[in-house]
Amino acid sequence: MGFHRSSIGRILDMYPCLLTSDPHLHLYPTFDFLLNEVEIPFLDISRSINRCPRLLVSSVSHQLRPAFVFLKELGFVGPRKLNHQTTLLLVYNVERSLMSKIEFLMGLGFEFAEVKNMVVRAPGILTLSVERNMEPKFEYFVREMKGDLGELKKFPQFFSFSLERKIKPRHRMLVEYGLKMPLSRMLKDNDGEFSARLFEMRLRMVEES
């Protein structure tokens, strides 16, 4: 299946039960599902598993397929269908995990169609903890950044950035200099690019004053 020996060792170290499992009963069904139902290209199968070895110990009928059906209903189809980077979403329980993120976003005031578009554009949202991750970020966004839902709808990737390491420091720098920046520009740039952009904005302010 294209796995390197080093990655096989790591996977077996995480899930030693695979050493005593029957390949025909426990491995082949997963590979068949990923290849023929999810339609992951053969060359990407090892990349999917290396990214999320838990796929190999998850039941196709009780976990992977129900999650796959749910994700397709959300909009992971066509150009946005699951790939080797997003197959890890298949190991998340629909009711206990995936739906909690959908319900949280709808609770903020987004329509279901808007939420579907947001999670397809930023799949990482579905892997986050509502209590430990999404709620604190939204609270900071509303209270400190005085943001509105329209900004999050345009840039749902906001939830995927670290609150302490990126969102707060960059927002505070903007506040310190009396500057404003769209969420995407504020967060997508690396530190060097952000500093350069900040310098340009400050220089422009001086020139215009």
Instruction: Name the residue among 21, 93, 109 with its Cα closest to residue 57.
Output: 21
Q: Which two tokens stand for residue 204?
A: 């422009």
Q: Express each pLDDT in 138-161 by its tens digit.
A: 999 999 999 999 999 999 999 999
Instruction: Please check whether residues 151 and 194 belong to one and the same domain.
Output: no
Provide the domain count of the chain. 3
Pair 155, 166 in one domain: no
202 or 68, which is more confident: 68
Q: What is the DSSP string of the chain?
A: ----HHHHHHHHHH-GGGGGS-IIIIIHHHHHIIIIIS---HHHHHHHHHH-GGGGGS-IIIIIHHHHHHHHHHT--GGGS--TTTGGGGGS-IIIIIHHHHHHHHHTT--HHHHHHHHHH-GGGGGS-IIIIIHHHHHHHHHTS---HHHHHH-GGGGGS-IIIIIHHHHHHHHHTT----HHHHHHS-HHHHHHHHHHHHHHHHHH-
Q: Are residues 73 and 33 in the same domain?
A: yes
Full-model pTM: 0.88
Tell whether 30 and 110 lie within a shared domain. no
Q: Do both 23 and 67 map to the same domain?
A: yes
Structural domain range at position 32: 1-91
169 and 184 inside one domain: yes
pLDDT in tens, 50-108: 999 999 999 999 999 999 999 999 999 999 999 999 999 999 999 999 999 999 999 99
Clarify whether residues 100 and 86 are in a common domain. Answer: no
